[in-house]
Chain A
């Protein structure tokens, strides 16, 4: 895996707000991170922390009349947020693609799976009907679907959940993208199928220089696939670290909480699984100060008043917590 110094994708100060009847909700609030060519970045957090919205914002898949997106998303020397809709459309599915969480609902029920793969090939690779169909079958083969010629002609309801997720992956890979956002690609699946899909993704990853942003709440998946991790909480980045460091030396109390709540098979049955008390704050009624303080066991007075600054410890290592600023505040 070669990691070049120039990032493939660079997100700076991304802020996404939804306009609803009850007010404006800021789902993503000043997110920065880079994705380098060929790497797998884990984007981690509980549901509702804004990690999916980040991906949808980058691809500009949110309804523009209901949302405002601010900040910069630099990709191949262009700010994606400045592109006109037509230019953006040509990037989607060809150089950046996305795998969605729900294989059951993300495929169109009344089109054959072959057609759903072939249509992007016809559009982006300018293949004719026959060639596109052949390539679609080939893609199904790549994602290890048995008898792909038959499967291509079938409708999604004939396929199992794992099979459908393979189709989604085939669709995302079909035009050789540089970057794939995989939004909880295994969450909706059975545990055994999850493992298969992860193995498949790893296998596909080996042969290519495609970068993956793996969006998940499952740190197990992250440990297996990602090289670097960005942790999000309530629309903000709270910590970033190479995957090994994150597991050994997490700085943010939230990250530590997440790590503690991973079930361990060998764990003594009597010990309770740890959980982080409380729930993710309602985005309409954000707490003052650090948004994590109501759930943080180590919260101090300042946490309730001011939100902590982002502290860059070294390359690819940053954390946003007052505890850390005490130790490293002088640097």
Chain B
């Protein structure tokens, strides 16, 4: 036991449990984590851009203005214009709405299906669990992006289908995550005690198990939003995601490819936008994990 002292690298020596509660420690750790703080600030700016797009940019980001096409950054167009003479800044600002909508939608789909199915699978085990697990195995037999691609091939292109496709491709991940947690938690003494005094299953799941799964779910949600934005941008880039003229970062990059030769700015800025948005979710997700779910990796 005393060898634990060597592990001070990643295990703090815990003071008495009652001195600080574990979630209190979590918040304290989160506040100390500069990376998570930065992620939070980026995220606020990002949400601000999405909400404030009409104020920050006056005019229609999709209206072409061929006179000014492919203008480099200048006083009138801060980030230049694309091949149709539309302000890249405006399209990026409005694009943040689209990507945020996608991120929320995708994670919404993932949570909506993944969490209840995972809870049931882990709590009841037996046949239900077996069938659900084979189903997730089947879906996980495909790499995530390809699964989304296959679903798009079936459902077709467009914003809604992008959200549904990526969302469904993430469901098995949530099922796995939640089920794994439930399997350990359901063996805890307090759950057994609740069962012993005849508490209803529904009550046990909602009151005793769900709260303990929240930490990993939160972490996964933050990281999942980053992935959702990347996937959606990827589909947009390939021309099978959100369709123009809707300002979507990935499809902006897709059409910019033709003008790489002389006008690198057209491709540069939307990419930076994607990068920063994804980075903010990843930073925050990492911070949340370090603070609330320290045992897990990646």
User: Are A and B in contact, CB atoms below 8 Å, in the complex?
Assistant: yes
Residues on A lying within 8 angstroms of B by beta carbon are 18-22, 25, 27, 47-48, 51-53, 56, 61-63, 66-67, 100-102, 183-184, 282-285
* Interchain CB contact under 8 A, B6 and A56: yes
* Interchain CB contact under 8 A, B9 and A21: no
* Interchain CB contact under 8 A, A284 and B15: yes
CB proximity to A under 8 Å, residues B1-28: 1-3, 5-6, 8-9, 12-13, 15-16
Q: A47-B1, A183-B3 are in contact. List 13 more A-B contacts (CB 8 A).
A: A21-B29, A22-B15, A27-B5, A51-B2, A56-B6, A61-B6, A62-B6, A63-B8, A63-B9, A101-B1, A183-B2, A282-B16, A285-B15
Q: How far is the CA of A51 from the CA of B3 in the complex (A)?
A: 11
Q: How far is the CA of A20 from the CA of B15 in the complex (A)?
A: 11
Distance in Å: Cβ of B165 to nearest Cβ of chain A: 42
Chain A interface helix/strand/loop/mixed: loop
* Interchain CB contact under 8 A, A18 and B2: no
* Interchain CB contact under 8 A, B3 and A25: no
Contact A21 to B15, CB < 8 A, known contacts A51-B2, A101-B2, A183-B2 = no
Nearest A residue to B20, CB-CB = A22
B residues near A21, Cβ cutoff 8 Å = 12, 29, 32
A residues near B6, Cβ cutoff 8 Å = 56, 61-63
Distance in Å: Cβ of A197 to nearest Cβ of chain B: 18
B residues near A61, Cβ cutoff 8 Å = 6
* Interchain CB contact under 8 A, B3 and A102: yes
* Interchain CB contact under 8 A, A20 and B2: no
* Interchain CB contact under 8 A, A66 and B8: yes
B residues near A56, Cβ cutoff 8 Å = 3, 5-6
* Interchain CB contact under 8 A, A282 and B15: yes
A residues near B8, Cβ cutoff 8 Å = 18-20, 63, 66-67
B residues near A67, Cβ cutoff 8 Å = 8
Nearest A residue to B11, CB-CB = A20
Residue in B3, B5, B13, B16 whose beta carbon sits within 8 Å of that of A101 in the complex: B3
Q: Please report the number of residue pairs spanning A and B whose Cβ atoms sit closer than 8 angstroms.
A: 51
B residues near A51, Cβ cutoff 8 Å = 2
Nearest B residue to A19, CB-CB = B8
Q: Which 6 A-B pairs have the closest CB atoms?
A: A52-B2, A66-B8, A20-B12, A21-B12, A284-B15, A47-B1
Distance in Å: Cβ of A165 to nearest Cβ of chain B: 15
Q: How far is the CA of A67 from the CA of B8 in the complex (A)?
A: 9
Q: How far is the CA of A47 from the CA of B16 in the complex (A)?
A: 16
Distance in Å: Cβ of B35 to nearest Cβ of chain A: 16
A-B contact pairs, 11 of them (CB 8 A): A18-B8, A21-B12, A47-B1, A47-B2, A48-B1, A48-B2, A52-B2, A62-B5, A66-B9, A101-B2, A184-B2
A residues near B29, Cβ cutoff 8 Å = 21
Nearest B residue to A25, CB-CB = B13
B residues near A102, Cβ cutoff 8 Å = 3
Distance in Å: Cβ of A272 to nearest Cβ of chain B: 26
Nearest B residue to A52, CB-CB = B2
Q: How far is the CA of A25 from the CA of B1 in the complex (A)?
A: 17
Distance in Å: Cβ of B258 to nearest Cβ of chain A: 53
B residues near A25, Cβ cutoff 8 Å = 13
Q: How far is the CA of A52 from the CA of B7 in the complex (A)?
A: 14
Distance in Å: Cβ of A278 to nearest Cβ of chain B: 13
Residue in B1, B3, B13, B16 whose beta carbon sits within 8 Å of that of A20 in the complex: B13
Nearest B residue to A188, CB-CB = B1
Nearest A residue to B8, CB-CB = A66
Distance in Å: Cβ of B78 to nearest Cβ of chain A: 44
A residues near B32, Cβ cutoff 8 Å = 21
Nearest B residue to A66, CB-CB = B8
A residues near B2, Cβ cutoff 8 Å = 47-48, 51-53, 101, 183-184
B residues near A18, Cβ cutoff 8 Å = 5, 8, 13
In this complex, which of B2, B9, B13, B32 has the most chain A Cβ atoms within 10 angstroms of its Cβ? Answer: B2
* Interchain CB contact under 8 A, B12 and A100: no
Distance in Å: Cβ of A67 to nearest Cβ of chain B: 8
Q: How far is the CA of A285 from the CA of B32 in the complex (A)?
A: 23
Distance in Å: Cβ of B31 to nearest Cβ of chain A: 12
Q: How far is the CA of A284 from the CA of B19 in the complex (A)?
A: 11
* Interchain CB contact under 8 A, A22 and B13: yes
Q: How far is the CA of A56 from the CA of B29 in the complex (A)?
A: 29
Q: How far is the CA of A257 from the CA of B235 in the complex (A)?
A: 72
Residue in A48, A52, A63 whose beta carbon sits within 8 Å of that of B3 in the complex: A52
Nearest B residue to A51, CB-CB = B2
* Interchain CB contact under 8 A, A22 and B12: yes
CB proximity to A under 8 Å, residues B175-206: none
Distance in Å: Cβ of A331 to nearest Cβ of chain B: 36
In this complex, which of A22, A66, A102, A284 has the most chain B Cβ atoms within 10 angstroms of its Cβ? Answer: A22
A residues near B12, Cβ cutoff 8 Å = 20-22
* Interchain CB contact under 8 A, B3 and A100: yes
Distance in Å: Cβ of A219 to nearest Cβ of chain B: 18
Nearest B residue to A47, CB-CB = B1
Distance in Å: Cβ of A283 to nearest Cβ of chain B: 8
Q: How far is the CA of A52 from the CA of B5 in the complex (A)?
A: 9
Distance in Å: Cβ of A145 to nearest Cβ of chain B: 24
Q: How far is the CA of A19 from the CA of B6 in the complex (A)?
A: 12
Nearest B residue to A279, CB-CB = B16
Distance in Å: Cβ of A140 to nearest Cβ of chain B: 24
Residue in B5, B9, B15, B16 whose beta carbon sits within 8 Å of that of A53 in the complex: B5
In this complex, which of B3, B5, B8, B13 has the most chain A Cβ atoms within 10 angstroms of its Cβ? Answer: B5
A residues near B16, Cβ cutoff 8 Å = 282
Distance in Å: Cβ of A188 to nearest Cβ of chain B: 10
Q: How far is the CA of A255 from the CA of B29 in the complex (A)?
A: 40
B residues near A101, Cβ cutoff 8 Å = 1-3
Q: How far is the CA of A285 from the CA of B14 in the complex (A)?
A: 12
Nearest A residue to B7, CB-CB = A63
A residues near B15, Cβ cutoff 8 Å = 22, 282, 284-285
